[in-house]
A and B are shown apart, each in its own frame.
Chain A
């Protein structure tokens, strides 16, 4: 019996001994998932491609070579060339810049608008909460892409406006998530304690509540990045995002559609790039959700 108690105590001690920080524990759990590791690897590749594009790209993405129009993939042009003789690989590499930038900036806009709104709604409650709730409902009632198209159409077609449109359309998701998390956290004892010692409201919200809801926000941000990359590609495909001749995966697919019979490779590579980028962010988002969930230890 005494032995059992001792081992038990030791067991607990051993658990405590591995006193790693929550971040380190989440990272260790994330890296145990093959899907998430694959996702991280692909994202690292894409970020490297975007940052190092001028160094690694085999050609200038805008260089038109009229003697090499719609050439199939070869040793000279690994991914083939497009309808005006531009190297498809170079355009896919440079396209990573537009896609990643659009993903990051539009999610940043959504966080910058949505998290403060959600914090206020959840913390203040009452009429403010009801008002924010109805506005959020109204934005969510307009289908994501249709609202983004409408916004991009009225703002005017450009990559910057597409990012604003996607950012605004993604905002309600963050308002709703932040609000729900704040509602759950604000009744905890430590928030009560912070209030009891006389902390001002803004300090309670920013110092005591916000850090505790960061994990949920991180998961949502990763999944929203995936959605934003698809949305940017969709808007560029429709001609409302990145304007030609600047390379973007979506606009490459748009022109590829006209040459499916003679040059199918024009459609294969940019589509595959979008698919891989979105898949990777989804895998990392799913992995993060499991790694950060205290119930799945």
Chain B
């Protein structure tokens, strides 16, 4: 187990190095003189020169990278040009909001996705199976920003049940907080539920055909016990890892969802940064999301090893 973990950690190091290279290269995509573009409205040559010196833009590229990565490794992701605040603390401020939204979305996705997957596998080729498959196709094909707008129209404009936008922290008033996040969480969870449903269904179908399930049935066990105790446990193991890959979808989805519902999280931070030409923030957000994504995948791998004794070795 430890050697496996060590191997995975070693694999992550070169990947992280290339992630940092990609993010570092971003600022060199800027058309023209990066210092001038980063200065934005500021036209003062002195200020532009200061930016050039601060980012070491006058030095050769490899030297610039070394300066940049040194900063990143010591927790310095640069400073927001607009808000004049360190990027890391800005991200730290917004992250809890997205974590709340993301956790709610995951719960919604797990309940709907795995539930629908189980039903459609157990009742294969029945009406339920068709409905569940139709739902999955709908979930994968619906743009979540459109779904968000339509939900606002239905539940906020027409019915007036839920607030159309805004965010109330959990610590302030949990009821209002849930009311302000339930629609965006559903929008985020919907697409992931569809993917989880497909994974669960195919994993369940595979396990349902295995010998030990036939044995369990032959022993005369109740079908419910066969499904819950024998099938589900083994079918859900691969779903964990495949599901973890959906964290990327979750983080991408958060950008659009937070924009539509004006939720001041991580996703809104990057969009606002893009429009304010706050490039350090854009780079910081990409770096942090990639790191979070890799860490979550590592956790999922570990969970997989813990659940499946064959891999413990």
Contact = CB atoms under 8 A, between A and B. Distances in A.
Interface of A: 134-135, 137-147, 149-151, 153-156, 226, 230, 233-234, 237-240, 253, 256-257, 260-261, 264, 267-268, 270-271, 274-275, 278-279, 282-283
B309 interface: no
Q: Which 3 residue pairs of A and B lie closest in terms of their CB atoms, listed nearest first?
A: A138-B18, A271-B146, A145-B252
B22 A142 contact: yes
A137 B8 CA distance: 13
* Interface size band for B: 35 or more
18 contacts: A135-B18, A138-B15, A138-B18, A141-B293, A142-B286, A143-B249, A143-B290, A144-B248, A145-B253, A145-B256, A151-B26, A156-B31, A239-B275, A256-B149, A260-B149, A260-B153, A271-B150, A282-B140
Interface stretch (B51-59, B220-228, B277-285): B277-285
B146 A282 contact: no
A150 B283 contact: yes
Given A153-B282, A278-B141, A137 B18 contact: yes
Contacts of A256: 149
Contacts, number: 136
Contact of B271 (A137, A144, A149, A274): A149
A229 B276 CA distance: 26
Nearest to B271: A238
Nearest to A223: B140
A139 B282 CA distance: 16
B146 A253 contact: yes
Given A143-B251, A146-B270, A260-B157, A226 B22 contact: no
B170 interface: no
A144 B252 contact: yes
Given A253-B145, A274-B146, A154 B290 contact: no
Given A135-B18, A238-B256, A155 B29 contact: yes
Q: What DSSP secondary structure best describes chain A's contact surface?
A: helix
B69 interface: no
Interface in B18-50: 18-19, 21-23, 26-27, 29-31
Most chain B beta-carbon contacts within 10 A, residue among A139, A144, A154, A283: A154
A278 B21 contact: no
Contacts of A257: 149, 260
A226 B141 contact: yes
B255 interface: yes
Interface in B66-108: none
B274 A240 contact: yes
Nearest to A145: B252
Contacts of B138: 279
Nearest to A138: B18
A134 B14 contact: yes
Interface string B137-167: 1101111011001101100010000000000
Contact of B255 (A145, A151, A253, A275): A145
Nearest to B154: A264
Given A145-B252, A154-B27, A279 B282 contact: no
B254 to A, nearest CB: 9
Nearest to B260: A257
B15 A271 contact: no
A279 B143 CA distance: 10
A142 B293 CA distance: 8
A63 to B, nearest CB: 25
B141 A275 contact: yes
Given A230-B143, A257-B260, A141 B19 contact: yes
Given A143-B252, A264-B157, A267-B146, A283 B274 contact: no
B289 interface: yes
Contact of B149 (A145, A233, A239, A253): A253
Contacts of A268: 150
Contacts of A143: 247-249, 251-252, 289-290, 293
Given A141-B293, A271-B146, A275-B142, 17 more contacts: A134-B18, A137-B15, A141-B15, A142-B290, A143-B251, A145-B256, A146-B255, A147-B22, A238-B256, A238-B259, A260-B152, A267-B146, A270-B146, A271-B150, A275-B143, A282-B141, A283-B137
Given A135-B18, A141-B19, A143-B251, A233 B143 contact: yes
